[in-house]
């Protein structure tokens, strides 16, 4: 049997992207195991979702950034995390943290990067007036929302969209591309050359 990829998830809130991974694993679409879910928010619904799926959880109190990150690194290492997924994790990680796990941290962001990085990407898209936005899964590098892009999916913006309605439409696609990106990573099919990420499609019947 294939060795399962061990994933460490960092999440601050509701945790629907975490849930999409849990469901993907339960449906057999992902050969992976979520080894630990870490949150900087004691009340995050993500922690509740993890507990329901019998996944170990840890709340790390945010204090001094270097100490917070040191503790998170220790927990990820103790749990042998081979991939770290930022699933709605609302803190910026320092270069020290990122360089500890080169090309091993991925993030889901609710816009077509490099447009609308940072907070409230869906609101930014509506206020700017774009007709198409979407979501991006990317490797995390030292700059915010700027690492090599793994997968993106476009989503239309309608005239009567609110931040909520647009966010919901994007979220559906987030769940899909996040699970897909984790699957491709777990199958060792990603090759990064500079800023570009290439996906080995040999032997795949899936259209990416
Ligand atoms: C998602 O829309 C995710 O893309 C976004 O937070 C939401 C978390 O939802 N992340 C960011 O904006 C990171 N910059 P979830 O907790 O239900 O997965």
For the segment 41-76, what is each residue's pLDDT rounded down to a tens digit? 999 999 999 999 999 999 999 999 999 999 999 999
pLDDT digits (tens, 9 = 90+) for 19-44: 999 999 999 999 999 999 999 999 99
Q: Tell me the C-alpha distance between 96 and 39, whole Å.
A: 19
Name the band, by pLDDT with cuts 50, 70 and 90, for residue 3.
confident
The predicted-structure confidence for 124-181, as pLDDT tens digits, reads as follows 999 999 999 999 999 999 999 999 999 999 999 999 999 999 999 999 999 999 999 9
- Report yes or no: 200 and 161 within 8 Å, Cβ to Cβ: no
What whole-number distance in Å separates Cα of residue 33 and Cα of residue 176? 18
DSSP 113: T
**Considering the domain 1-101, what is its CATH architecture?**
3-Layer(aba) Sandwich (3.40)
Q: Which residues contact 158 (CB under 8 A, 6 or more apart)?
A: 165, 166
Architecture of domain 108-208: 3-Layer(aba) Sandwich (3.40)
The Cα 66–Cα 70 span in angstroms is: 6
CA atoms of 84 and 7, how far apart (whole Å): 6
For ligand 1, atom 5, which residue shows the shortest CA distance? 88
Query: Measured between alpha carbons, how far is 172 from 20 in angstroms, rounded to an integer?
Result: 10
State the pLDDT at residue 66. 97
Residue identifier of the C-alpha nearest atom 8 of ligand 1: 88
CA dihedral of 6, 10, 13, 15, whole degrees rounded to 10 = -20
Distance CA 68, CA 37 (A): 15
Q: Which of 12, 16, 17, 181 is the pocket-test mutation for ligand 1 (most atoms within 8 Å of CB)?
A: 17
Give the pLDDT score at 205.
Answer: 54
In whole angstroms, what separates CA 129 from the centre of its chain? 26
Please report the pLDDT score of residue 83 as a whole number. Answer: 98
Q: How many residues does the chain have?
A: 208
pLDDT at 207 over 50: no
Give strand pairing partners of 122: none
Tokens of 137: 């899964």
Ligand 1 atom closest to residue 170's alpha carbon, by position in its atom list: 2
Global pTM reads: 0.96
- Domain(s) of CATH 3.40.50.170: residues in the chain: 1-101, 108-208
Q: Which pLDDT value is given to residue 201? A: 86
Q: Is 100 known to be catalytic?
A: no
Ligand 1 site, CB within 6 A: 11, 13-17, 87-88, 108-110, 121, 171, 174
């Amino acid at each position: 049997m294939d060795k399962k990829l061990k994933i460490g998830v960092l999440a601050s809130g509701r945790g629907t992207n975490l849930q999409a991974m849990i469901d993907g694993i339960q449906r057999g679409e992902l050969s992976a195991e979520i080894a630990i879910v870490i949150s900087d928010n004691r009340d995050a619904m993500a922690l509740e979702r993890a507990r329901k799926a019998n996944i170990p959880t840890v709340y790390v109190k945010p204090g001094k950034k270097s100490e917070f990150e040191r503790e998170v690194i220790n927990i990820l290492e103790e749990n042998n995390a081979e991939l770290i997924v930022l699933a709605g994790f609302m803190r910026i990680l320092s270069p020290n943290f990122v360089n500890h796990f080169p090309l091993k941290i991925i993030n889901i962001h609710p816009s077509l990067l490099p447009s609308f990085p940072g907070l409230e990407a869906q609101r930014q898209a509506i206020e700017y007036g774009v007709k198409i936005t979407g979501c991006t899964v990317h490797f995390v590098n030292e700059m915010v929302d700027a690492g090599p892009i793994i997968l993106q999916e476009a989503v239309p913006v309608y005239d009567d969209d609110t931040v909520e309605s647009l966010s919901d439409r994007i979220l559906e696609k987030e769940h899909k591309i996040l699970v897909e990106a984790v699957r491709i990573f777990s199958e060792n099919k990603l090759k990064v050359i500079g800023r570009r990420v290439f996906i080995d499609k040999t032997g795949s019947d899936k259209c990416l």
